Amino acid sequence: MNLKDEIKALAKEIGISKIGFTTADDFNYLEKSLRLAREEDRSSGFEHKVIEERLDPKLSLASAKTIISIALAYPHKLPTTAEKSQFKRGKFTPSSWGIDYHYLLQDKMEQLAAAIRQLDTQLEYKTMVDTGALVDTAVAQRAGLGFIGKNGLLITKEYGSYVFLGELVTNLEIEPDQPVPNGCGDCTRCLTSCPTSCLLGDGTMNAKRCLSFQTQDKGMMDLEFRKKIKTVIYGCDICQISCPYNKGILNQAHTEIDPELAQPQLLPFLELSNGQFKEKFGHVAGSWRGKNILQRNAIIALANSRDRSAIPKLLEIIDKSQNKIHVATAIWAIGQIVPQPNPEMITFIETLTGLDEDGQAEQARLLNKWQVASD
């Protein structure tokens, strides 16, 4: 076998779902869209900051000649369901089931690099996953793993869009694979199913309108998005669920998945201390944003599920929490769950003090809502 075939065989042994090869030539065709997204404030802010480094692999590895792109498939259906519970449950989207995919991909790529070094001791490489300099989908598309759909995700023939992507920038000289032609055609299902119309139709998006971004952003979630996240406390998969290429896909997990973490009980989730959260959820991808943001989302999820059993906890948060975002969000949540309050609850909300600007705004909105309902 030649080096390329040997690397493909090694990847299969390691458990890499799909592998492709492309040159380390620049990605200058992306520059216009990357700069425009930044100028129009459509970027999430989580991306690599230096655009020049996103375009030129040689700025990450001076000796770069070939990029090895890998995909790791992941399931979108739980292998086992969570047990019945007295509490309403929230949802982490499938990309956050099991061990954080950054660790999984990094481990697979380091294993692959170590095995390649046994074949070529002169190997130089740089690994990248998600937050690295290069645009993973652009690398994967050019390396023949799949095509970039109208939802901006890489779509593969074998695994749909449920794949994690990473790459090794190397000094190896390997024949590149051919890009896969776009397969979306006239289909617009992802565009029409997106609740926030964040997809622009050309594979780009207004990332700040994506519900996945909204579940990860700091501060108060804009009113426009609160009901749209339903009971999801991390991520959004609507554009994937609607994609025809994902119908009938049953990818296998590369890590153990605990349904109790994938679909956590919301009220107990609000009780977690920092230490408990880190111990229980610290190994999943969604934990990177920390307990407070996810607990804010859990409060919204309780409101969207109209869980009246959550009222005592929400009132406790309003009365005692030091987290101003949680307080303001809980005031809003009370208004969603309690359309007709008793006089004691009205008095409680009316006499709240020490609220910040967000809390005061939610207080005024709620009292006005109750006033309108009583007229």
Condensed to tens digits (0 to 9), the pLDDT of residues 319-329 reads 999 999 999 99
**Distance separating alpha carbons of residues 253 and 78, to the nearest angstrom:** 9
Q: What is the pLDDT of residues 151-189, one digit of tens each?
A: 999 999 999 999 999 999 999 999 999 999 999 999 999
CA angle 223, 227, 229 (to 5 degrees): 110
**Distance separating alpha carbons of residues 299 and 333, to the nearest angstrom:** 7
Residue 262 makes CB contacts below 8 A (sequence gap 6+) with 78, 82, 91, 92, 94, 96, 97
pLDDT at 371: 94
Q: How confident is the model at residue 255 (pLDDT cuts 50, 70, 90)?
A: very high
pLDDT at 131: 78
Catalytic-role residue among 107, 130, 177, 358: 130
> C-alpha distances in angstroms, 150 versus 153, 203, 365?
8, 4, 38
Q: Which helix (H) or strand (E) holds 178?
A: none
CA angle 143, 146, 150 (to 5 degrees): 125
> C-alpha distances in angstroms, 308 versus 14, 122, 218, 294, 313?
49, 64, 27, 20, 10
pLDDT at 220: 98
**Distance separating alpha carbons of residues 367 and 198, to the nearest angstrom:** 32
pLDDT at 375: 77
Residues 111-115: contacts with CB within 8 Å, 24+ apart? 111/14, 112/7, 112/10, 112/11, 112/14, 112/16, 112/68, 112/70, 112/168, 113/168, 115/10, 115/13, 115/14
Length of the chain measured in residues? 375
**Distance separating alpha carbons of residues 313 and 298, to the nearest angstrom:** 12
E-state strands within the chain: 18-23, 66-73, 91-92, 125-129, 147-148, 154-155, 163-170, 232-234
What is the DSSP-derived secondary structure letter of residue 179? P
Q: How confident is the model at residue 315 (pLDDT cuts 50, 70, 90)?
A: very high
pLDDT at 251: 97
Q: How confident is the model at residue 286 (pLDDT cuts 50, 70, 90)?
A: very high
- Cβ-count burial of 6 within 10 angstroms (0-12 exposed, 13-18 middle, 19+ buried)? middle
3-state secondary structure at position 126? strand
pLDDT at 198: 98
Q: What is the pLDDT of residues 100-142, one digit of tens each?
A: 999 999 999 999 999 999 999 999 999 999 879 999 999 999 9
Would you say 329 and 366 are in contact if contact means Cβ atoms under 8 Å apart?
Answer: no
pLDDT at 374: 86
The question of whether 130 is a catalytic residue gets the answer yes
Residue 323 makes CB contacts below 8 A (sequence gap 6+) with 292, 295
**Distance separating alpha carbons of residues 308 and 176, to the nearest angstrom:** 58
Q: What is the pLDDT of residues 37-93, one digit of tens each?
A: 999 999 999 999 999 999 999 999 999 999 999 999 999 999 888 889 999 999 999
What is the rounded average pLDDT for all residues in the chain?
97
Q: Which helix (H) or strand (E) holds 159?
A: none
Residue 105 makes CB contacts below 8 A (sequence gap 6+) with 70, 72, 129, 130, 164, 165, 166
pLDDT mean over 233-250: 97
pLDDT at 81: 87
**Distance separating alpha carbons of residues 292 and 348, to the nearest angstrom:** 25
For 165, phi then psi, to 5°, come to -120, 145
Would you say 96 and 286 are in contact if contact means Cβ atoms under 8 Å apart?
Answer: yes
Q: Which helix (H) or strand (E) holds 312?
A: helix 311-320
Q: What is the pLDDT of residues 265-279, one digit of tens each?
A: 999 999 999 999 999
Tokens of 232: 């999801």
pLDDT at 267: 98
Half-sphere exposure of 189 (CA within 13 A, CB side): 14
Report pTM. Answer: 0.96
pLDDT at 176: 98
Q: How confident is the model at residue 1 (pLDDT cuts 50, 70, 90)?
A: confident
Residue 107 makes CB contacts below 8 A (sequence gap 6+) with none
pLDDT at 327: 98
Q: Which residue, among 283, 125, 124, 296, has the nearest Cα to 219 in the 3D structure? A: 296
pLDDT at 190: 98
